[in-house]
Amino acid sequence: MTQKLVLVTGGSGFIAGHVILQLLGQGYRVRTTVRSLQREAAVRAVLTEAGMSGGDSLSFVAADLLGDAGWADAVAGCDYVMHVASPVHPGKVANEDDVIVPAREGTVRVLRAARDAGVKRVVLTSAFHAVSWGHPHREHAFTEEDWTILDGPGVDAYGRSKTLAERDAWDFVAAEGRGMELVALCPVAVVGPLMGREVSGTNHLVQRVLDGGMPGYPNLFIPFVDVRDVASAHVLAMTAPGAAGQRFLLADGPAIAMRQVGELLRANLGDAAGRVPTRKIPDFVVRVGALFNPELRSLVPDLGYVKKPSNAKARRVLGWQPRPAADAIVAAAESMIRTPLR
């Protein structure tokens, strides 16, 4: 029987790389997009270093989220599409459209191409940013029924981009999908083993704690999930019978204090954690700094707020079993210690 063919968009990315590894490891043929085929050799080298098996079953197509060229070739003959590619720029950006436009236009562009090619199901990588931002602080377990309030406090361009892109995806499938299935995955802060020498996503936070770039810990709480578990959720969502038409939160559990990240590194890394800070930064210091620093300003609404995402649906419908967030944080740091970073 012919192996199923899966398209993974944005093959040079952190999450996409781990998705590709798991798909190939399970015997799928994989096609991935890069903005230029000149990137193919470098991406293959990174995947090989990360333990890729079945590399002969991996192929590349050039395609950009902001243009139509290449997408028909990318989806041709595919059984499934994993739309992972999206600009990742949390915090303050000079021009919000640089983040929002590619996310929205690219999502609809990929869905339209997939529909026209007869793809059965698309798995969309959304984010917790599309679920929990802008809400008033309260005792609340966030579920898949929650959506980010776009004009609420603390919502940045990235949060708007993920929320609007996911809503666009659901609207497109409902109005023009012609029976194509959609699943949306909403991971919390993604950390874990590096893909190559680049530090991506929330791994930057772990890096700043590890190398002492963060002088102390503001009173912030972050929910974490391991990138390998995010990848496994993508593979599960691709074929799970009950997943079609659903969104899933991906988290290990409630948010943990930033100071606990440092405590985990000091407890597990010995001398390599010598630069990890120990002091806390009082709320009033952050609030005063926020008067002059836009990055600090975005933190103020969440000071002292412990978000509680529920993973019950992912466990029940997908059979998803995430590892502890502590393991993901330590694995991220260990890979940084092993890898000469750029």
What is the average per-residue pLDDT within 16-29? 97
User: Catalytic annotation on 162?
Assistant: yes
Give helix then strand counts, H and E, for the chain: 12, 13
What tens digit of pLDDT does each residue of 209-236 get? Answer: 999 999 899 999 999 999 999 999 999 9
Opening angle at CA 20, ends 17 and 25, nearest 5? 130
What is the average per-residue pLDDT within 90-99? 75
What tens digit of pLDDT does each residue of 173-190 get? Answer: 999 999 999 999 999 999
Q: How far apart are alpha carbons 5 and 119 in whole angstroms?
A: 10
Tell me the residue ranges of DSSP E strands in the chain. 5-8, 29-34, 58-62, 80-83, 121-125, 141-142, 181-187, 189-191, 221-222, 224-226, 247-250, 256-257, 308-309
What tens digit of pLDDT does each residue of 302-342 get? Answer: 899 999 999 999 999 999 999 999 999 999 999 999 887 76
Instruction: List the catalytic residue out of 4, 92, 120, 162.
Output: 162
Q: Which of 44, 286, 88 is nearest to 187 (CA)?
A: 88
Instruction: Compare 2 and 146 and report the one with higher pLDDT.
Output: 146
Q: Which CATH architecture has domain 5-195+224-253+307-323?
A: 3-Layer(aba) Sandwich (3.40)
Q: How far apart are alpha carbons 82 and 184 in whole angstroms?
A: 10
What is the average per-residue pLDDT within 155-175? 94
Q: Tell me the pTM.
A: 0.95
Q: Which two tokens stand for residue 311?
A: 């993973």
Opening angle at CA 238, ends 321 and 8, nearest 5? 105
- The pLDDT of residue 339: 83
Show Cβ contacts of residue 171 under 8 Å, excluding neighbours closer than 6 positions.
none
- The pLDDT of residue 1: 46
Q: For residues 296 and 306, is the Cβ–Cβ distance under 8 A? A: no
Per-domain boundaries in the chain: 5-195+224-253+307-323
User: Does 89 score more than 70 pLDDT?
Assistant: no
Q: How far apart are alpha carbons 136 and 152 in whole angstroms?
A: 8
DSSP state of 133: T
Ordered alpha helix ranges (H), 187-282: 203-210, 227-239, 258-269
